[in-house]
Every structure is written in structure tokens, then in C-alpha cells.
Amino acid sequence: MRMKLNAVNAVLAVLVIVAYVWFFVISPTFVFKPAGEKPPLFGVPVADNVNWMVTELGAYKLHPNLIGGEPALIEVYVTDVKKSFTTVVAYDGPKTGAGPAINPDMRISLSTDDFTRLYNAGDVMKETVVLYKEGKAKIEILKDTATLTAKGYKAIYDALGM
């Protein structure tokens, strides 16, 4: 009887661990988008515009890799003006600054006009997919699947339907 009880407890413990890893690490479910106003966009995007856009794409669901603590890094490159922005996602949400990322997890490249189209879209996620399919937005996955999964990118990947 005691062996069966230990086996049941072990199975329950494994299920709890698997559920935790799935819902809080691989595909964060209980993370809510931070409240914030959409900053105005005047021509060429600035860091605040990029931060709002990547937040709409789900960057707020990302987190540092639990093994090693490397933060999630997204680079957005505006092709026609050759401007790069780096979004770093730590435990306090996405923060974007000007300049190229060093060893980013993913890179999104698009023109100013396409950034504006995306920025003004009612559904940023859906419009990203449209721009990608039209060849107007390039989305490069630059890290291996295990690293991306450990940082929560599965939630964004699933939402994009890619």
C-alpha cells in the first residue's frame, strides 16, 4: 500500500512540474499585457514606438532563460533608414533602446512604411502575418529551438501561426 502511495505522489509531483514548466516557461499563459498608452508615431519610428509594437506582438510574455539567466533579445531593423532597435526582456517586461542587438534571439526587418502600417493596424499580430506573407516583413529566428522555448517564444510563435 505504501509503495502505491509513493508512486501516486511521484506521478503527481511530475505532473505539477510539467504543468509549471508548460504554463510558466514554455508557453506563458498567466502573464498579462502591461497597460500603457500607444505613443504617437511621427514618421521614422523611435524606441517607444518599437517597444509598443513588440509588446503587442507578445514580448511581455518572454523572460530570461532559466538556465543561465540570458534575457530575451529582439532586434527590430527599419530597412530604409538603416535604424536598429534592441528590445531586452527581463523580469520587468520589455525595454527598447536604439542600436543593434548583440546576439539577438530574433530579428524583425521592415521598412518605415510597413512599420507604420503595422503600427496603425487594429490587430498587430494579424498584420505581422500579412506583412510576412507579402514578403514585406522579414522575421529571422536566430537561436536554437531549445533556447527560444526556454525564454517563452513559443507563445509568440503560436500566436503568429508560423
* Strands annotated E in 15-122: 72-78, 83-90, 93-98, 106-110
Residue type, 37: E
Segment 99-122, tens digit of pLDDT: 999 999 999 999 999 999 999 999
* Whole-structure pTM value: 0.80
More confident residue, 86 or 146: 86
Give the CA distances from residue 45 to residues 4, 34, 52, 79, 98, in Å, rounded to whole numbers and listed in that order. Answer: 62, 21, 11, 12, 10
From the list 139, 21, 143, the residue with the least C-alpha distance to 72 is 143
What was the pLDDT predicted at 90? 83
Residues 132 and 29: their CA atoms lie apart, in Å, by: 25
